[in-house]
Each structure stands twice: as structure tokens, then as C-alpha cells.
Amino acid sequence: MKTMGNRTSEKLPDTLTPLSVPQEQNNIKLPWGRLYSCMEKFKSVDLTLDTITLGRAEQCTIVVNKNNFPESTMLNISKIHFTIIRDEYTDLIYLKDESKNGTFINGALVGRGNRNILQHDDVLSVGFRGSQKLFVFKLLEMDESSKLLPPELRKKYKLSRFLGKGACGEVHLVFEKTTTKAYAMKKIKKGVYSSGNIYHLDHPNKIMNEVKILKSLSHPCVIKMKEIVETDSDVCMILEYMDGGDLTSRILSIRPMTEQNVKCLFYQITLAVQYLHSEGITHRDLKPDNILLANDETETVVKLTDFGLSKFLHEYTVMKTICGTPQYVAPEIIDGSYTEYSYQVDVWSLGVILFYMLSKQLPFRSTERAVLNKLILTGQYTFNPIVWSGVSSDAKDLIKNMLIVDPNERISINEVLAHRWIADDVSMQHRVAQIVQNEGSNSEYYFDDSENLQPPPKKFKLMETTV
Ligand code: AMP
């Protein structure tokens, strides 16, 4: 944040409340914004508080009454008409319309209960079609941070705090200006050829088709992509925001996860993968870092992210070379003998994830890549009895069926859902349906929470494998 220069060229009313200087010595907060009055009898107001209300009620910060407002339009003003809020945590300043007859920003109605981010020079008005101008809002600190957004996104979003850094780029919290809705913006740097030229996305038509598919995906356990913008150096995606961090942090946190908790999360992940496969998409990079949680509750909504991304970028981009996480990769990918790998690669990764969730250990681990590859290619892992003694034999059986080296022998995603560890636990399925519905996602289609919920039909015989 940088202090703004003088804006002396503007014609401003002289009814400004005197500023108190020097504020810091007296423990008085410095004003962060100012409402310049557009009405003769109204005073301009310095904004120092984090919540400012305007209305007819005596308790409002700015009280509208017959002494300062035309009587003919007083009836348009509610007891609390609007609130201006400054959220220090997100660095967001917005107006919440609380009125019956409407608050207008630059002539556009906000609407009762709605919120709009306030920007420098916004005109606030009330009355019929906003005919009565009240204030011009001025920020006293210029927000420089949004310059980090590409111009197409800067118009629509306000940049907020840094959320995290992945192998492929940085993620920031952003807010949509017209709604104050939170989103995550993921910025992926494009790779650079050895010649120094920057990779571009594949042929634009092809990309736009892919983007259309990704944007059209709709499942309560799949992160929704709102938009994607390409600049010369980056690809920026606006994604649904998840407040609970990623699955890796949850698994490694000191809070214990019971087998029931694991099942509740894993069931959702499996449904999401089944959905992607039904839409013709293989994730290819399933790992706990790509699974996000809605909140800190033990049982919460989980969503998959980063699916299909590898399709966007050139074959040799950073995505392909750096992002592959060896511990989760299926043997047929390492092997290289399969010219085309199928949906089954995702089932393998899910098997590794389930193993990790239940034991906090990875089934295949070695600091040496060659050794790790060999373990994966031969499917060598063990259930350490000290760690696994408290885990059900059904859970272990499911893992065994998922970690079968031959993809043709490995169970399919539908068979994972039909496995007795999941299919027989109808109460867990009810709980998940409830959690997803409470979260407000579009869940009706995927989760039937009716009393008659039946487990999916068993489509396969469990295999007795020994490892
Ligand atoms: P990634 O590049 O996907 O590995 O993400 C890096 C960090 O950003 C991770 O720590 C995630 O927790 C966070 N992150 C990624 N996507 C989102 C999202 N949609 N909502 C909230 N946080 C996210």
C-alpha cells in the first residue's frame, strides 16, 4: 500500500470534517478513506472506524434526518440504509446494502443483503434510480497490489492475501468486486524454451475447447474453474476458494483422523474421480496436495483441483517435468511401455492416498528415485502391523485391489465405490450427503440423501491378494 498523492485538481466540497493531526501520538487511528459529501447540508466524513453505518436510526455513524436531508426523499432512507466495512484481515473495503429502497454505486443498484467492493471515486446514491447523490468515496491509500493481476482480471477482482505456493505457481485470495465473493487465483508461470522463448498454450482453438470443458464441469467435489486468462508470461485461473487448506496438511496435522473420518473424505474424492472419468478426463496428478478442504471440521467437504491442467500446457512445460509427484505415480507411467495410459492411473494414485490417510506413511518410499521406481513397478509395500493393527481388513483389502501393478487387473473407479468398505457404509454416505448439502454446493444431483438410499450394486468379486 502506498500513500496517494494530492488530488487537488478535483472540485471537492468544503464541508470536510477537520482532520486531527498528529493522530498516532494520541492513539487515534489514521483515516483510511473519506466520504466527500455531494449535498450541501451533509458533512464529508473521514473513515477511521472499520464499520460505518448510514441511516435514520440514532445509533448510525452517519444519521440522516430532516436537518440534513430533503424531506421529500427521507422516506427512501431505511433505519440502517447501508454499512461500509473494512476487513483488515482480507484488506477488503465493501458496502453492504441493508435498505428497502436500495443503495446505488455509480448508478447501479447494489440490492438489499448484497455486498459490493468499494473503489476509489465510487459515487454512492439513494432514492429513485439513485437520483440522490450522497458521497464520493475516496481511498486515502492507493491499492497497488492489484497491479499484480492481469488487466482483464483487475477490472473484476481485488487481490487479497497470499494463500500458498505450489510446484507450478502461486495462489492468491481474490474477491469479485461486484459480489465480494472469495476466489483463489492460481498463476502458473509459462515454461521457457532453451532458446529463451516462452512457451505458449497449444493452439488457441484447441485450448478454448478444453477450457470450455473444464469450465462446464460441475460436481460438488470438483473445484469449479470460473475463468482462465493467458498473458505473455503466465496462465491465471480463477478457482472456487477453499478455506480448509489441503489434505496433506490435514493428514500431517496432530489432530487424529479415525478410519471413519478417512472414509468420509475418501468417499468424496472417489466420487469426484468417477465424475471426471465419466466426463472423459483423467486427473493424472492425484495427490493430497491437489485435494482441498472446505473448512477445519474433521468431516468436511473435499474437492479435487488441478485436473486436466497438463492438457493446457505444452508437452515439455514446467507442469510435466516438475509437477509429477513420484510417490503417487502409477507403474505404467514409470514403465513407459504403455503408449497411452488410461483412467486406471488415477485408481493407483487413490490407493496410495488411502494408504497415506490411514497410516500417515507412504506405501512406496525411498530417497533414491531408481529404488522408488523399482518398488512401484513391482508393487512392493507392506502393512506395518504396528501402524495397521487398528485398521479394518476391508480397508486393507480395498488398498490391495487398487495397488495392483497391472492396470487391467486393477479395480476400476466404479468398483472402488462398490467395494464393501464404502458401499456397505450407508450411514457414512448419508453423512457425506448432509455435509455437502450444508456447504451449499450443487449436490442434489450427486447425493441422494433420501431415507431409501441404497448402496451401489456390487459389480465385482473381491480379490484376495497377498502382499
Ligand atoms: P497448489 O499450487 O495447487 O499446490 O497450491 C498452493 C497452495 O495454495 C496450497 O497450499 C493450497 O492450500 C492453496 N490453494 C490452492 N488452490 C486453492 C483454492 N482453490 N482455495 C484455497 N487455497 C488454495
- Rounded (10°) CA dihedral 374, 377, 382, 387: 90
Q: Which part of the chain is CATH 3.30.200.20?
A: 154-240
pLDDT of residue 462: 29
pLDDT of residue 25: 43
Q: Which three cell numbers stand for residue 261?
A: 473420518
DSSP 386-408: HHHTTS-HHHHHHHHHHS-SSTT
d(Cα 210, Cα 206) in Å, to the nearest integer? 6
Residue 167 Cα to ligand 1 midpoint, Å, equals: 11
| 292, 300, 328, best to mutate for ligand 1 pocket (most atoms within 8 Å of CB) | 292
d(Cα 189, Cα 423) in Å, to the nearest integer? 42
CATH number of 154-240: 3.30.200.20
Q: Which three cell numbers stand for residue 92?
A: 477488503
- The residue whose C-alpha atom lies closest to atom 12 belonging to ligand 1 is 245
Is 441 a pocket residue for ligand 1 (Cβ < 6 Å)?
Answer: no
Catalytic annotation present for 285? yes
Task: Report if pTM > 0.75.
Answer: no
- The residue whose C-alpha atom lies closest to atom 10 belonging to ligand 1 is 164
Q: What is the pLDDT of residues 138-193, one digit of tens each?
A: 988 766 666 778 888 988 998 888 888 876 678 999 999 899 899 999 887 765 54
Which phi and psi angles does 396 have, rounded to 5°? -65, -40
User: What b-and-e string marks burial along 295-316, b requiring 16 or more CB atoms within 10 Å of the CB?
Assistant: eeeebbbbbbbbbbbbbbbeee
* Residue 373 per-residue DSSP state: H
Domain 247-424 has CATH 1.10.274.10: no
Residue with cell 451533509: 42
d(Cα 165, Cα 268) in Å, to the nearest integer? 25
d(Cα 159, Cα 174) in Å, to the nearest integer? 5
Which phi and psi angles does 153 have, rounded to 5°? -90, -30
d(Cα 106, Cα 125) in Å, to the nearest integer? 8
Pairing of strands 33-37, 182-189: unpaired
Give the atom of ligand 1 at the shortest distance from the alpha carbon of 165: 6
Radius of gyration of the chain (CA): 28
Q: Which part of the chain is CATH 2.60.200.20?
A: 16-141
Residue 147 Cα to ligand 1 midpoint, Å, equals: 21
Q: How many Å separate Cα 188 from the centre of its chain?
A: 16
Helix ranges (DSSP H) in 279-368: 318-323, 331-335, 344-359
| Count of beta carbons in the 10 Å neighbourhood of residue 345 | 23
d(Cα 260, Cα 215) in Å, to the nearest integer? 33
Q: Which three cell numbers stand for residue 28?
A: 487515534
Judged by DSSP in three states, 110 sits in coil
pLDDT of residue 335: 83
Helices (H) and strands (E) counted in the chain, each on its own, are 14, 20
* Residue 44 per-residue DSSP state: B
Is 185 a pocket residue for ligand 1 (Cβ < 6 Å)?
Answer: no
Contact criterion met (CB below 8 Å) for 345 and 287: no
Task: Please identify every stretch of the chain with a pLDDT value under 70, giving residue numbers as ranges.
Answer: 1-28, 142-146, 167-168, 190-212, 307-324, 338-341, 440-467
**Sheet strands (E) in 66-130:** 82-87, 92-97, 104-105, 108-109, 115-117, 123-126
DSSP 414-448: HHHHHSHHHHT-HHHHHHHHHHHHHTT-S-TTT--
pLDDT of residue 207: 55
User: What b-and-e string marks burial along 39-56, b requiring 16 or more CB atoms within 10 Å of the CB?
Assistant: eeebebbbbbeeebbbbb
Q: What is the pLDDT of residues 200-224, one digit of tens each?
A: 554 455 555 566 677 788 999 999 9
**Residues near 131 by beta carbon (within 8 Å), at least 6 away in sequence:** 125
Q: Which part of the chain is CATH 1.10.510.10?
A: 247-424
User: Which one of the listed residues 46, 97, 246, 285 is annotated catalytic?
Assistant: 285
The arrangement of secondary structure in 16-141, i.e. its CATH architecture, is: Sandwich (2.60)
d(Cα 78, Cα 62) in Å, to the nearest integer? 12
Which element (helix H / strand E) includes 206? helix 204-216
Closest CA to 69 of 133, 22, 162, 157: 133
